[in-house]
Amino acid sequence: MQADVVGYSRLMESNELLTLERFKAHQQDFIKPTIHAYKGHIVKLMGDGILVEFSSVVDATSCAIAIQGGMADRNRDIPESEQILLRIGINLGDIIVEDDDIFGEGVNIAARLEGLATPGCICISGAVHDAIGNKLPLEYDFLGEQAVKNIEQPVRTYSARLADGAKLEIPRPITPQPGGSRSRTGLVVALVAAILAGLLLWLQPWQRDKLPPHADAVSKEPVLQPSIAVLPFKNMSGDVEQDYFSDGITEDIITDLSRLQGLAVIARNSSFSYKDTTAQIQEIGKDLGVAYILEGSIRKSGDRLRITAQLIDTGSSHQVWAERFDRELTDVFAMQDEITRQIVSALSIQLTGDEQQRLDHRAARNFTAYDLFLQGQRAAAEMSEEGMETAANLYKQAISHDPELARAYGALAVTMTRQAYFGHSSSPVETSDRALELARKAVSIDPDSPQVLWALCYVHMIRKQFDEAITALERAIAIAPNYADGYGLLALINNNLGNATEAINLIEKGMQLNPHYTYDYPYNLGRAYYAIGNYEKAVQNLEIAVERNAAVYTPRLYLAASYVQLGRQDDAEWQVTELETLMPSSTISHWKKTISLVDEEIRTRLFNDLSTAGMQE
């Protein structure tokens, strides 16, 4: 069955902080203890909702009566416009139990009946009515045979309430104890009643948006330490232009957590694939292979900043930790620190001395500079000439406000390197040299930042200074063992050097941390398989790379060469034609000057294959 907090959206709109505080208090102090007192098993919590299974229909109905009576008492001195009212529905029927969740028509009917309940009331099915009989002192109003969505037969429906003057013997509420997870699969024919409070489940089907496929070449290995994904914090400011700010804070939290040896952290790209989707927490947890999800919201208004965050166990959907912060904008860094520390505490992660020291050190402390830096990140993500120019100017402004903001120097170095590489600079050599100076400056300011070390590596790599690049990136990964993009870039460098086996190991590690990886992950994996002569796996991964980003050039080079090795001449020639369409200057001589590939045997083989595929000299 299903119930909801009546008018929850209106309450949140009116006073978000007060509504969250009151509902959390109702849950912790009253609703959960009452459920456990009646021997209910909480299947999952969903924001403002809760799904509960009982082995007794009498316990389920008694619990619902107790909750509605208690909520009426708790609302007695609250203004009507601020009262939190529940709709509760109860059904008796068959369910399917899979892992820690329940499904089936028994639950679906409950969801539909909830919508028929009036605020503060309980709606039950005919099966519940018949099973209770005269076991409880209740009165009923027959609501008729109701046709409900996605249920073939009409459902006999009643409104149930405690009879006038009657009382229930309410057991003493007990403190809920952590329970072990259940792992049962199959159809369970049982007496089941579900109490569910959650408007979101009534309004939305919770169907996950289609997500990009994974490369079959990579298998997920079991992770022994706690694992977490940080979903994009929702921008509640009412201005989509502020998305960069909430996204930036989310990325910083991911980075802080990725530094911890005792925690497996999913990469930003995979977490952000769930932005603006309606996937359930348990679905996301299974898809990403994590035990915990951190989600939240950010509201920036004037000089005030409000952040809400909650840590959820993906197996049970139970809330492990939640907090709300309402402070001055300039306190954003303290709030980020507090969120990280609370997660560390909630998951009982033991920090090393170095990790403790790094958490104590927050690189950004000037809010204006930080905000300009985040705006620059948004502009740089466009990867256009105009976007790079805008980003460079914003990074320079950030540095002028905070000359010690290392990440701004690093980001500016990467942007200038790209401007020189893509021909957007009138003096590419000078621009490249200046970029190297800036990257070194960034590392001198903050040698423990994985982002600035990545920036230094990137600049060295484009300059074909591979030894220096590897040194910088290995340091970044040592600091942040969950740094997926670090493994990805290190794989690219090893590919350039002809170290294919090492590249495969690195990229597979990166894919585990970033299940919804970008095109460059399968591209690097495909390159490595081409290098060792496994052309079937090369094609498998390179085709995924092209599918994910049809506009990039280099995956098509190796895909055409792999097709040649497999005797698929027509496919090889088609890739060369596509390349010429995308890039008219695509010739063998051009790529010989451009491609960073040190190993002479692989290099010779690649260009011979491209010539066979029909590429012009």
Q: Which of 547, 523, 511 is nearest to 218 (CA)?
A: 511
End residue of a domain, out of 342, 360, 378: 360
For residues 197 and 238, state if they share a domain.
no
List Cβ neighbours of 110 (8 Å cut-off, separation of 6 or more).
Answer: 1, 2, 89, 90, 91, 125, 194, 196
CB-based contact 537:217 (threshold 8 Å): yes
Identify whether 617 is part of a domain: no
pLDDT digits (tens, 9 = 90+) for 521-580: 999 999 999 999 999 999 999 999 998 887 778 899 999 999 999 999 999 999 999 888
Is the sign of the CA dihedral 285, 538, 547, 605 positive or negative?
positive
Tokens of 96: 């399917």
For the cut 90, the answer to whether the pLDDT of residue 222 exceeds it is no
pLDDT at position 201, please?
A: 36
Confidence of residue 350 (pLDDT cuts 50, 70, 90): low
Say if 311 falls within a structural domain. yes
* Same domain, residue pair 193 and 247: no
The whole-angstrom separation of Cα 200 and Cα 208 is: 14
Report the pLDDT value the prediction gives residue 21, as an integer from 0 to 100: 75
Q: What CA–CA distances, in Å, run from 593 to 489, 553, 587? A: 21, 15, 10
Instruction: Check whether residue 533 and residue 496 sit in a common domain.
Output: yes
Q: Is residue 237 part of a domain?
A: yes
Mean pLDDT of the chain: 82
Q: Say how far apart CA 266 and CA 294 lie, in whole Å.
A: 11
Rounded Cα distance between 364 and 410, Å, is 13
pLDDT of residue 507: 92
Question: What is the total count of domains within the chain?
Answer: 3
Instruction: Find the distance separating the first CA and the last CA of the chain, reported in whole Å.
Output: 69
Q: Are 99 and 140 part of one and the same domain?
A: yes
Residue 437 within a domain: yes
Give the pLDDT band (50/70/90) at residue 13: low
Q: What is the distance between the alpha carbons of residues 277 and 332, in angstroms, rounded to a whole number?
A: 26
- Is residue 463 classed as helix, strand or coil in its secondary structure? coil
Of 169, 203, 237, which marks where a domain is finished? 203
The pLDDT of 170-187, averaged and rounded, is 43
For 8, other C-beta atoms within 10 Å of its C-beta total: 20
Together in a domain, 314 and 434: no
Token reading at 206: 């919770």
Alpha-carbon distance of 95 to 107, in angstroms, equals 7
pLDDT category at 172 given cuts 50, 70, 90 is low
Q: Are residues 600 and 473 part of one domain?
A: yes
CATH number at residue 347: 3.40.50.10610
Least confident residue range of 8-12, 28-32, 241-245, 401-405: 8-12
Amino acid identity of residue 315, one-letter, is G
**Same domain (yes/no): 516, 574:** yes
Q: The CATH number of the domain where 71 resides is what?
A: 3.30.70.1230
Determine phi and psi for 188, rounding to 5 degrees.
-110, 115
Least confident of 18-22, 113-117, 318-322, 338-342: 18-22
Crossing angle for the helix pair 406-421 and 428-445, to the nearest 10 degrees = 160
Global pTM value: 0.55
Q: Strand, helix or coil at 160? A: strand
Q: Judge whether 476 and 486 are in contact, CB under 8 Å.
A: yes
Contacts of 92 (CB under 8 A, 6+ apart): 57, 106, 125, 127, 128, 131, 191, 192, 193
Could you tell me which residues are beta bridge partners of residue 313? 292
Are residue 332 and residue 273 in the same domain, yes or no?
Answer: yes
Judged against a pLDDT cut of 80, whether residue 352 lies above it is answered with no
Encoded tokens for 282: 């348990």
Question: How far is C-alpha 573 from the chain's CA centre?
Answer: 40
Is 377 part of any domain? Answer: no
Identify the pLDDT of residue 215. 39
> What pLDDT score was predicted for residue 171?
66
Contact call for residues 367 and 330 (beta carbons, < 8 A): yes
Q: Give the tokens for residue 24.
A: 């959390």
Q: 46-50, 262-266, 282-286: which range is least confident on average?
A: 46-50
**Residue-wise pLDDT tens digits, 372-390:** 999 999 898 877 888 899 9
Give the per-residue pLDDT at 399: 95
**pLDDT average, residue stretch 503-517:** 89
Among 336, 360, 384, the domain boundary falls at 360
Residue 501, domain member (yes or no): yes
| Residue 102, phi then psi, degrees to nearest 5 | -125, 145
CB atoms within 10 A of CB 268: 21
Mean pLDDT along residues 238-243 = 81
Inform me whether the pLDDT recorded for 205 exceeds 70. Answer: no
Instruction: Return d(Cα 507, Cα 136) in angstroms, integer.
Output: 62
**More confidently predicted of 88 and 197:** 88
Residue 443 has pLDDT above 90, yes or no: yes
Mark whether 176 and 241 lie in a shared domain: no
Task: Give the pLDDT of residue 302.
Answer: 80
Residue 576 parent element (H or E): helix 569-582
In a domain, 189, yes or no: yes
Residue 503 CA, distance from chain mean position: 26
* Domain ranges, residue 294: 227-360
Q: How confident is the model at residue 366 (pLDDT cuts 50, 70, 90)?
A: confident
Q: Average pLDDT, stretch 209-213?
A: 35
Encoded amino acid at 498, one letter: G
| Average pLDDT, integer, range 411-424 | 90
pLDDT of residue 524: 93
Same domain membership, residue 538 and residue 477: yes
pLDDT score, position 611? 95
Do residue 41 and residue 142 come from a single domain?
A: yes
Q: Would you give the DSSP letter of residue 556?
A: H
**Is the pLDDT assigned to residue 196 strictly greater than 70?**
no
Mean pLDDT of 8-17: 70
For residue 194, pLDDT over 60 is answered with: no
CATH code, 519? 1.25.40.10
Q: What is the mean pLDDT of residues 267-284?
A: 84
Q: Which two tokens stand for residue 274?
A: 């769930």
pLDDT at 273 over 90: no
pLDDT (mean) for 466-481: 90
| More confident position, 18 or 450 | 450
The answer to whether residue 190 scores a pLDDT higher than 80 is no
The answer on 592 and 499 residing in a single domain is: yes
Helices (H), 80-149: 105-114, 126-132
Instruction: Please enumerate in sequence order all residues whose Cβ is within 8 A of that of 488, keeping only pairs 6 or more positions apart, or say none.
Output: 506, 507, 510, 514, 517, 520, 521, 524
In a domain, 408, yes or no: no
> Looking at the predicted structure, is the pLDDT value of residue 369 above 50?
yes
